[in-house]
Amino acid sequence: MAGTARLNSPDRLMRNAFMDPSGVLLALEEQKKWRERRKRIRERIRQLDRRRSLLKKELDGVRNKILQYGRVLIDLQLGSRAGTTIPTMGPGR
């Protein structure tokens, strides 16, 4: 696959194009096609990078919540073992 892409690359097409007008036009069209394809690929990579960044932030938030609730659970378990009661929150809180 890489060999084919290299053979069809815009640089190679320009070097191998015959100097007749149809060959030059074909080479220019191929060059334009490859530029547009690279542009679409770069944009898609940027989208995926943004999405990955957003998902990492979301994952960090979820991990922090898991730690927070884990600590609360441990505190509740330790409190119930010691026979202490957990103070309830009144209506003013």
- What is d(CA 30, CA 16) in angstroms, rounded to the nearest whole number? 12
Instruction: Select the more confidently predicted residue: 93 or 70.
Output: 70
DSSP 89: P
pLDDT value for 93: 46
17 or 29: which leads in pLDDT: 29
Say yes or no to pLDDT of 66 above 70.
yes
85-to-29, 68, 72, 76 alpha-carbon distances in Å: 78, 21, 14, 9
13 pLDDT higher than 60: no
Read off the pTM: 0.52
